[in-house]
Amino acid sequence: MISELMRIVRLGIKSLLLHKLRSFLTMLGLLFGVAAVIGMLAIGEGASFEALQRIKALGSTNIIIRSQKPPQTQESTSADVFNAVSYGLTYRDADRIASVVREAELVVQVREKPAEMRQGPYWVSSIVLGTEPEFLRVSNMRMREGRWLTPTDLVRQKNVAVLGATLAETLFPLDDPLDQTVRVDADRYRVVGVLDELGRASGSVGPPLDACMFIPLTTSRARFGDETTTTSGGSFSRERVELHEIRVRLREIDQVIPAANVLRTLIDDAHRSQNDVVITVPLELLREAEESKRLWNFMLGCMAGISLLVGGIGIMNVMLATVTERTREIGIRRALGAKKSHIVRQFVVETGVLSAIGGLAGVGVGIGFPFLIERLFGKPTITLPEHVILAFGISAAVGVAFGIYPAWRAANMDPVEALRHE
């Protein structure tokens, strides 16, 4: 049985080699179909993986509430110059959130202040982020060395700082930053710790944390106050923002969506729909990302289906031509004792060989292609084995399905007519 099948397969290969170019071109159809499916799925998978990682890094039980400059005050006229534009989250908001959202495990306040940081000959302008000890937990960051901000630091308004990984690198390219000082304006801060790098996930919402300097919330308030003056293009404007961000962590994932709704109402009431606060719910983003990934996969599936269908039609076309061309051979085989089923088997196997080789080559190209994308564009790609199997399986199925009709035609020829065929 096995040796019989081997023989049919070998015969199939021989017959295909009879028309090398034609067989090759037919295979190309399937090859590109399969390669496109695998390649596109790998790129899509890579892209959505990255997006999902970013969102997950925000914490799926977190809700991030940020101040934003409301659109109507953006075109500030000269009349406003002496009055500070006041917007965004307030300390009262923070208190209210803490008392209304009972399921909150943590409510963390954040103040951001753009500033220049200096250390010896090095300087960089970045953001000084004033916050509370719980920030470390809600931001999913880890210490590389030293310690994080403590309640005592806050109570005593200490001038201590924890540096983000890239900031530490910039200011202290050669030395260990611990116990050294960083200057911001006229103040000196003692470095007590350095954070691990967050990498890609850093700063998808809010400032890039890897480049920030972290100080106690109380220190930030005492040193910088709530008003910021920015000069741009000869004119200057003053803004008053108490808090730039409030992060809320909930205990359970089920509490996230209800809590987000409560927060929205609460913020709307307090800010009279001023549009100066944005609420980001990572869990919602995650759901959206997953939904769009599903949609993307479905679209890919359709495109893949179409390209494989085209490949299949190509195969059928060629096999019909082959059958016509080999009418005489079919007649001979029938005269020598072949049943109809033998003829069907022969041509189906031949189509199968053709599509299997095309499919395998497509798998090869399809696996290689994402590598190339990764090398050239630095985009991550993920080739899942199930996608490879799926693509190959579909191509094989398409090949065989489209081979059946030509084979059936071949088998049902009248042997006498077939033998007379020129």
Partner 1 sequence: MTETREVIAEFVGVERHYEMGTTIVRALDGVSVRIRRGEYIAIMGRSGSGKSTMLNLLGCLDRPTAGEYVLGGKRVSELSDDELSVLRGKTIGFIFQSFNLIPQLTVLENLEVPLFYQGRVGAESRRKAEQLATRVGLDGRLDHKPMELSGGQQQRVAIARALMNDPLFLLADEATGNLDSRTEAEILSLLDELHGEGVTVVMVTHNERVARHAERTIWLRDGKVERIVENLDRVDTYTGGAHSGVAQPSVGAAGEEAR
Interface residue list for partner 1 (CB under 8 A) = 3-4, 7, 11, 14-15, 17-18, 328-329, 331-342, 415-416, 419
Q: How far is the CB of 310 from partner 1 (least distance, A)?
A: 28
Q: Which CB, 17 or 376, lies closer to partner 1?
A: 17
Opening angle at CA 16, ends 39 and 402, nearest 5: 60
Beta carbon of residue 18, minimum distance to partner 1 (angstroms, whole number):
5
Sign of CA dihedral 267, 268, 271, 276: positive
CB of 353 to partner 1, least distance (A): 14
Q: Quote the least distance from Cβ 409 to partner 1, whole Å.
A: 16
- Minimum CB–partner distance for residue 16 and partner 1 (Å): 9
Helix, coil or strand: residue 140: coil
- Residue 262 or 338 having the CB closest to partner 1: 338
- Kindly state the smallest distance separating residue 325's Cβ from partner 1, in Å: 11
Q: For residues 409 and 344, what is the distance between their CA atoms, to the nearest angstrom?
A: 9
Q: Give strand pairing partners of 349.
A: none
Structure tokens given for 362: 């497509």
Q: Which residues of 52-65 are buried (b: 16+ CB within 10 A; e: fewer)?
A: eebbbbbbbbbbbb
Q: Which is nearer to partner 1, 139 or 322 (CB)?
A: 322
CB 168 within 8 A of CB 189: no
Instruction: Give the integer Cα–Cα distance in Å for 236 and 240.
Output: 14
- Name which of 280 and 346 has its Cβ closer to partner 1: 346
Judged by DSSP in three states, 153 sits in helix
Q: How many CB atoms lie within 10 A of CB 270?
A: 15
Secondary element (H or E) of residue 198: none
Q: From the CB of 407, what's the least distance to partner 1, in Å?
A: 16
Question: Which residues are paired to 109 by β-bridges?
Answer: 246
Our CB check for partner 1 shows the closer of 278 and 338 to be 338
Distance of CA 344 to the CA centre of its chain: 47
Helix (H, G, I), strand (E, B) or coil at 121: coil
Please identify, using beta-carbon distances, which residue of 158 and 333 lies nearer to partner 1. 333
Cβ-based nearer residue to partner 1, 103 or 329: 329
- Helices (DSSP H) in 272-384: which residue ranges? 282-325, 327-335, 340-377
